[in-house]
Amino acid sequence: MDSLAPPALSPAALAADSGYWQRVAAQYDVTQDVAMLDNGYWGSMARPVLAACQQHLATVNHGNAYYGRLRFPPEFEAARAAAARALGVERDEIVLTRGATEALQALISGYNRLRAGDTVLCADVDYDNMLTVMGWLRTRRGVDVVRLALPEPATHGSLIDAYAQAMAQHPKLRMMLLTHVNHRNGMVLPVAEIVRMARARGIDAIVDTAHGFGQLDMRLPDLDADFAGINLHKWIGAPVGVGALYIRRGRVRDIDPHMGEPDGDDIRTRVHTGTVNFAAYLALPLALQIHERIGVANKAARLQRLRNRWVEAARDIGGLQVLASNDPRLTSAIASFRLRGKTSVAENAALSKRLLKEHGVFAVLRDGLASGACVRVTPAIFTSEAQVDRLVAGLKAMSM
């Protein structure tokens, strides 16, 4: 991992050091058939993590149940402890899952402080499956589900005001879902401010930080949330199928145990995955080491630089609408675009296909925003400036 050691530069200066990021990119085996700008789906493993995962798989396959029953449990707990340290919380406050979706499903469906007639709140930026689970609470708990359309373009103040107004308008609001960094246009929600405002009114927040942890310079306590779902296979680069569920110490009993698991304060009873992907979890500590070796502040600065490179150029392209804030507090690696007036799923699916066919750039359709569909762009730390520039060239050609 010596090649990943960053030179003694500030994150902003290092973000512009193409030589360093070329060395980082050399650690990843990613297709060059296209400019890969859909890195929000999951994050490719660095070569050392892939090799470790393959070796762990061979070990598990060789040892079978003898390994799985006797040697794996303490190694799994070591991986859990490593994740807790990276998240900035205690080991007994997290349980490893197959991803943020599994974690958030358990938190939302198991939240047991709701009574018939209460209100829960979600927003148009929330992840599709999480919206489904929030809607399911209407049948399961007999609650009223309110869906908020967040302002666009958004400002830091307008986002806080939108949630403040929703709290004032719905006096029976008891729980809300907050998406830290949404997968549609990449807006960063001021979670901590909203959580504190909600807590003062006796409202709990369940936070989806699937896209936050690992690409932003933050740890879980910064969100001030009691409940959160986390992905470790997106911005950390662990094998696919690794995430975590967080419950602040003292709040475990507010989430039901999983389908008859014993009640109590052990967070592990809130999820029951069954037989897990042994090798994926065993490779997690190395993925975290590489993440920390590069440095989250350095990763965040590099991703912001790549995002800004295409966003700022695209804003000058006539006929193109860029869905991205100018406020650094609200920006992530993710941003989106559409042709002006073209808001349907079909139009943006065609735009994504054209970008791939004519310009060799892979970016994906996203739907669900109140304002309509869009095409999402997500660079990674192995993305080059040339790949971002290929996107800009394609956008210019398609906007003529």
Residue range 259-295, pLDDT digits in tens: 988 899 999 999 999 999 999 999 999 999 999 999 9
Closest CA to 209 of 246, 238, 239: 246
Q: Tell me, yes or no, whether 147 and 230 share the same domain.
A: yes
pLDDT per residue as tens digits for the range 335-344: 999 999 999 9
Q: What single DSSP character describes residue 37?
A: -
CA R_g for the chain:
21
Element (H, E) at 205: strand 204-208
- Total number of domains in the chain: 2
Q: Tell me, yes or no, whether 129 and 266 share the same domain.
A: yes
pLDDT at 260: 86
Q: Tell me, yes or no, whether 66 and 124 share the same domain.
A: yes
Residues across the chain: 400
Task: Please give the residue range of the domain that contains residue 217.
Answer: 54-289
Q: What single DSSP character describes residue 333?
A: S
Q: Which of 269, 289, 309 finishes a domain?
A: 289
HSE (CB half, 13 Å, CA atoms) of 324? 27
Q: Tell me, yes or no, whether 72 and 142 share the same domain.
A: yes
Average pLDDT (72-82) is 97
Percent of the chain with pLDDT over 90: 97
Residue 1 has pLDDT above 90, yes or no: no
Element (H, E) at 44: none
Q: Which of 272, 289, 306 finishes a domain?
A: 289
pLDDT at 334: 98
- The burial class, CB within 10 Å (0-12 / 13-18 / 19+), for 222 is middle
Element (H, E) at 208: strand 204-208
Q: Tell me, yes or no, whether 203 and 337 share the same domain.
A: no
pLDDT band for 2, please (50, 70, 90 cuts).
confident
- Angstrom distance (rounded) from CA 165 to CA 179: 18
Q: Tell me, yes or no, whether 143 and 238 share the same domain.
A: yes
Average pLDDT (148-167) is 95
Q: Is the full-model pTM beyond 0.75? A: yes
Q: Could you tell me which residues are beta bridge partners of residue 95?
A: 245
Here the CATH number for the domain that contains residue 41 is 3.90.1150.10
Percent of the chain with pLDDT over 70: 100
pLDDT per residue as tens digits for the range 364-383: 999 999 999 999 999 999 99
pLDDT per residue as tens digits for the range 99-133: 999 999 999 999 999 999 999 999 999 999 999 99
